[in-house]
Structure 1
Amino acid sequence: MAPFTARAHGYGLVDWTADEVDAYASRLLRDHVAGRRWMPHRSSSCRACGESWPCPAATWAGQWSHGVTRAEPHSRY
């Protein structure tokens, strides 16, 4: 798989393969979790970075994993 330019949380623009970005996002999702059971309207923080939950790392990784931040090639047909 050829490298492409993507924005990775904590790194900025990177020239990684999609598999490398996927692995990085998976690592972030594994490591960045709520410090206690997360409930809406209740304050919680991330166990890994201590920021308010959901933290920016988990938000980025979740968006990448669900294809929100991933640019898909468009078909002409």
Structure 2
Amino acid sequence: MARFTARAHGYGLVDWSPAEVDAYASRLLRDHVPSRRWMPHRSSSCRECGESWPCPAATWAGQWSDGMPRTEPHSRL
């Protein structure tokens, strides 16, 4: 699969294939979860990084994943 430039959370600009970015986003979504049952308007933190929920990693991964499915590579800067 062709490589392209994308912005990946924690890495900045990367030249990865769409499948590699998708796999990275999936790992972030799997690992970065609320430390307790998340409820709107209640304070919670990420179990993985300890930042306020939703943490930047989960936010980025969710935004990336919302763009799926893709039929051809495109740049997300």
TM over 0.5: yes
Aligned-partner SS, 2:15: strand
Q: Which runs of 5+ in 1 are unaligned?
A: none
Q: Which residue of 2 aligns with 1:66?
A: 66
**Number of aligned residues:** 71
Q: Which residue of 2 aligns with 1:16?
A: 16
Counterpart residue type for residue 26 of structure 2:
S
For residues 67 and 53 of structure 1, what CA distance do their matches in structure 2 show?
21
Residue by residue over 1:49-69, the C-alpha shift from the partner in whole angstroms, topping out at 9 and shown as x without a partner, is 00000000000000000118x
Please identify runs of 4+ aligned residues in structure 1 that moved more than 3 A.
none
TM-score (norm 2): 0.87
How far off its partner does 1:32 sit? 0.1
Q: Could you say what the CA RMSD is over the residues aligned between the two structures, in angstroms?
A: 1.7
For residues 21 and 47 of structure 1, what CA distance do their matches in structure 2 show?
22
Give the structure with higher Rg (CA): 1
TM-score (norm 1): 0.87
Q: Which runs of 5+ in 2 are unaligned?
A: none
- Relative contact order (alpha carbons < 8 A, sep ≥ 6): 1 or 2 greater? 2
For residues 66 and 40 of structure 1, what CA distance do their matches in structure 2 show?
20
